[in-house]
Structure 1
Amino acid sequence: MRAHTPSPRPPRRRGAVRTTTAVLAGLAGLVLASGCAAGPAGGGTDRPDYFLDVKGMAAPAQEFTTVGGEKWAFRDVAEDRLTLLYFGYTSCPDVCPTTMADVGLALDGIGADAEKVDVVMVSTDPERDTDEQLRTWLDNFDPDFEGVRGPIDEVVAAAEDYGIPVEAPKRTGGDYLVTHGGRLAVLVPGGDAIGFFDEGTSAEQMSAVLPDLVRENL
């Protein structure tokens, strides 16, 4: 039984573009100062260095819940679209909002192919990222972006299955430390990962690769 059956995707809401552009402008350059390490660059023979091709990393078995209260599973992503998957949190001061802003701009830059791409962020701070908080935060970038929450130990395990290191939040003295993924995963129908954009990949760089990924995998 499918955990979540995506509904037909409506046209992208152009009103989100102005918000995304403003957020990106305000965060320009912060990703370089975040101190979060990216994985090694890579790619296939026809790919740029910022995109890493992989051979079908199997989808994790975990099932979570969307901010709208629907069951959601990696294996049940849309059957007719690619899914860009990110593990992050809403109180992240730099990398997470920069990544979401870049993704929104990248989709705005690929025309009709954007209708064949979903975006999902799985919270790595599910205790503080309530459904309302996560939905409101994602709306700043694009109302079509989906937010997903689940028990943090299962979130960590799922991220590790995709080769993305994430740790459960920790309290150290007066600090509350939360991690996020360093890469943006590209999932095909069925949830297998077929590639990753490195942390810090720009909107223009994503736009250069996404149309080919759509044509090759759908």
Structure 2
Amino acid sequence: MSERQGGVRRCGLGAAAVAAAAVIAVAGCGTGQQAQGKQGTQQREGPFLEVSETAMPAPQYEFSTARGEPWAFGDVAGDRLTLLYFGYTSCPDVCPTTMADIDAALQRMGGAAEDFDVVMVSTDPERDTDVQLRAWLNAFNPEFTGVRGPIDEVVEAARAYGIPVEKPETTDGDYQVSHGGRVAVLDGEGAAVGFFDEGTAPGKMSDVLPGLAEERL
């Protein structure tokens, strides 16, 4: 069962399946419309929407990685760009497809992929334990970073980047979780400089990313 609320597509799990959902995917999900967030210069290059560096600065939240290390949006690597996604491990379609597409794009880029980090912030941190999140990301690329934090702060951080997500909730016996639709590209200070649309093909990402690194690093 899915239900659209405030522009966000929630994904529901039947009450009997909630306990098993931390290990296996049991329900489908999609995403709703994306909020524009703070206004800045915007330029469309195919599936990539570029914004000015000052439009969406790094949110001031400190989380931790699935390896137990401190992590903050403003402390991303200064000599690389970061591809940021808000998702969760029991999502059976959009989230794994997005991670697989990002990995495929980086593989196509060869050595140029070294200019990029990939981070997924969990929108279901209560069920996405460190072990669960790390194992899930390892299936795509062991170099990807999983991040967990208090869900209220995760929601606010996502919205600071113009990505609407909501807290998980149980409605009529369904456990509902939301995820972002876009992949944000962060500069070395954690500011969002652009976004890839949901479902962007790996080849289209790999066409754009090297030029972004050349411009921004």
Q: Is TM more than 0.5 here?
A: yes
Check whether the contact 1:86–1:181 (CA below 8 A) recurs between aligned residues.
Answer: yes
Distance 2:57 2:73 in 1: 10
- Pick from 34, 42, 51 the counterpart of residue 39 of structure 1: 34
Structure 1 residues 211 and 68: alpha-carbon distance in aligned structure 2, compared to 1, 3 A threshold: same
Structure 1 residues 207 and 43: alpha-carbon distance in aligned structure 2, compared to 1, 3 A threshold: farther
Distance 2:116 2:30 in 1: 29
Once the two structures are superposed, the pairs formed by residues 77-92 of structure 1 within 5 Å of their partners are 77-92=76-91
Q: How many residues align?
A: 184
Distance 2:181 2:32 in 1: 7
Distance 1:43 1:55 in 2: 7
The answer to whether 1:54 aligns with 2:59 is no
Per the alignment, in what secondary structure is the counterpart of residue 122 of structure 1? strand
Distance 2:182 2:209 in 1: 15
Distance 2:68 2:155 in 1: 21
Question: Runs (4+) of structure 1 moved beyond 6 Å?
Answer: none
Per the alignment, in what secondary structure is the counterpart of residue 59 of structure 2? coil
What is the CA-CA distance between 1:158 and the residue it aligns to? 0.3
What is the CA-CA distance between 1:34 and the residue it aligns to? 4.5
Check whether the contact 1:138–1:147 (CA below 8 A) recurs between aligned residues.
Answer: yes
Distance 1:38 1:200 in 2: 13
Give the equivalent residue in structure 1 for 2:74.
75
Check whether the contact 1:43–1:51 (CA below 8 A) recurs between aligned residues.
Answer: no
Per the alignment, in what secondary structure is the counterpart of residue 55 of structure 1? coil
Gaps of 5+ in 1: 1-32
What is the CA-CA distance between 1:96 and the residue it aligns to? 0.2
The answer to whether 1:193 aligns with 2:188 is no
Give the equivalent residue in structure 2 for 1:97.
96
Letter in 2 for 1:148: V
The answer to whether 1:204 aligns with 2:199 is no
Once the two structures are superposed, the pairs formed by residues 113-192 of structure 1 within 5 Å of their partners are 113-192=112-191
| Identity rate, percent | 63
Letter in 1 for 2:195: F
Check whether the contact 1:38–1:199 (CA below 8 A) recurs between aligned residues.
Answer: no
Check whether the contact 2:152–2:167 (CA below 8 A) recurs between aligned residues.
Answer: yes
TM-score computed with the length of structure 1 as normaliser = 0.81
Per the alignment, in what secondary structure is the counterpart of residue 178 of structure 1? strand
Letter in 2 for 1:65: S
Q: List per-residue Cα deviations over 1:89-127 (Å, max 9, x = no partner).
A: 000010000000000000001111101100000000000
Letter in 1 for 2:32: A
Letter in 2 for 1:55: S
Letter in 1 for 2:61: Q
Check whether the contact 2:30–2:94 (CA below 8 A) recurs between aligned residues.
Answer: no
Per the alignment, in what secondary structure is the counterpart of residue 92 of structure 1? coil
Gaps of 5+ in 2: 1-27
